[in-house]
Chain A
């Protein structure tokens, strides 16, 4: 019997000390299984696990657990995301048992975007528990073998527990402490918000390393390549908690017509190079939004292929 917490591929890669590389795939706004399979196939063998988003930006999509299972059918390891917006603690715990029973081994715990952003703004939200409590719930079920009410779980779910961290949200000084709190609550790995402001991220990581957080939890740096100047402007102005420096926008503009996407990829590659060397960073989480087909090229150019087999 291994001493892995879950035995997931992602856990094994991280435990082996190799630089992890994870991807992301949003389920379709419908039952378009073929489209999902097609998007996911670009990621096969190119990343260690694929995050499957849970009604991201509060837009209704195929459920993250169902899409995660489809990825498993494709031979791809999912990182099942769950948000607290849509479920109370009964549904949360039963879904945790359900996904584990069907072969899911990684789970990312999130609060979730407010429904006001999405396509059902009239919805009632739940938020019975928050992301911190969700992390703790999964850990309690896995390690204590009990539900939130203290009753015994008949075969505990052995999940590798993920959390998100946004070093760019405010108040900045508290962000590293909040990360520490998530680690104490039970996070085994953390994926950060998309990083564009490298100075701020270096400072954040320095503080995390000073506190020894990188020794208690694997920290994966979030990278989203910019496809265009328009995307950069949108991220800078419209997406809460996103920090896009003007210098990056100018750089994309300066690339000239039709070349912004390549410049965006170049910036991402430079980031990945730096993250490989940055103390405390255990890997990269590449969120190529609706750009899955570009991931193999980015991975190749970033020198992270072939992916380790552990």
Chain B
């Protein structure tokens, strides 16, 4: 899933300080799963904004709405009859959400209520970590099913570097050295020869380096 975290309420209040009618829009996709942008969090953010503004003597109207997904025009269209009634919209979907809203409703001021972090998963309740860098050419099978592009701090394809210590990355004791895991796994499985194979420079044309990406699947285009 796409993992996000809430922006500090202070930052959001500053963003919308000039507006009096605000719509907070959530998303039932990834951000609901990672407890940051679903109906529940829409309610919490809306209430926090109302209370803060009332306390500061500038009471405002904050309404709530949660879409099935903000990354799909058919769901974004659901707002067409109500969005005109607001001065500002706060989207608490991933970074795709505020952009789809801005594109569909060009005259509406849209603000991001979360900081989108990464593509990853839940390691434990309340703990998420990155798994995919979206490079566009998956090669995890070379590395014991683990991705050094997303998970090595230096994206080494021929790791590990000299900074690997006690299974941790040189940048922080809180960061796993994924190369340590890859090497131990492959050696235990008797696949050392695969690790000894030189991995040539990667083509980044399919990654963000190749420019903004677009995918067209002709068989699905109506």
Contacts and interface: CB of A to CB of B under 8 A. Distances in A.
Interface of A: 84-85, 89, 111-114, 116-117, 125, 127-133, 136-137, 148, 164-166, 169-171, 173-174, 177-178, 180-181, 184-185, 193, 240-241
Given A164-B162, A169-B162, A241-B170, 5 more contacts: A130-B154, A136-B198, A169-B160, A169-B161, A241-B162
B164 interface: yes
Contacts of A165: 162
A185 B198 contact: yes
Contacts of A113: 163, 170
Contacts of A114: 153-154, 163, 170-171
Given A114-B154, A177-B196, A181-B196, A240 B160 contact: no
B187 interface: yes
Q: Interface centre among B154, B159, B172, by most A CB within 10 Å? A: B154
A133 B158 contact: yes
B158 to A, nearest CB: 3
B164 A177 contact: no
A137 B157 CA distance: 15
21 contacts: A113-B170, A131-B156, A132-B157, A132-B158, A165-B162, A169-B165, A170-B164, A171-B160, A173-B187, A174-B160, A174-B195, A177-B192, A177-B195, A177-B196, A178-B160, A181-B198, A185-B198, A240-B163, A240-B164, A240-B170, A241-B162
B213 to A, nearest CB: 18
B159 A130 contact: yes
Interface band, chain B: 20 to 34
B206 to A, nearest CB: 14
Contacts of A131: 156, 158, 161
B116 interface: no
Contacts of B172: 116
Nearest to B166: A170
A181 B180 CA distance: 16
Contacts of B163: 113-114, 169, 240-241
State the 5 A-B residue pairs at the shortest beta-carbon distance, nearest first.
A166-B162, A132-B158, A240-B170, A240-B163, A130-B156
Interface of B: 153-167, 170-172, 177, 180, 183-184, 187, 192, 195-196, 198-201, 204
Contacts of B184: 171
Contacts of A112: 154
Contacts of A185: 158, 198
A85 B180 contact: no
Contacts of A240: 162-165, 170
Contacts of B165: 169-170, 240-241
A173 B192 CA distance: 11
Q: Interface centre among A113, A148, A178, by most B CB within 10 Å? A: A178
B204 to A, nearest CB: 7
B170 A170 contact: no
Contact of A169 (B153, B155, B164): B164
B124 to A, nearest CB: 25
B11 to A, nearest CB: 19
Contacts of B200: 133, 136
Contacts of A129: 201
A85 to B, nearest CB: 7
Contacts of A170: 160, 164-167, 177, 180
A133 B164 contact: no
Nearest to B153: A114
Contact of B201 (A111, A133, A177, A193): A133
Contacts of A85: 154
Contact of B183 (A116, A117, A171): A171
B159 to A, nearest CB: 7
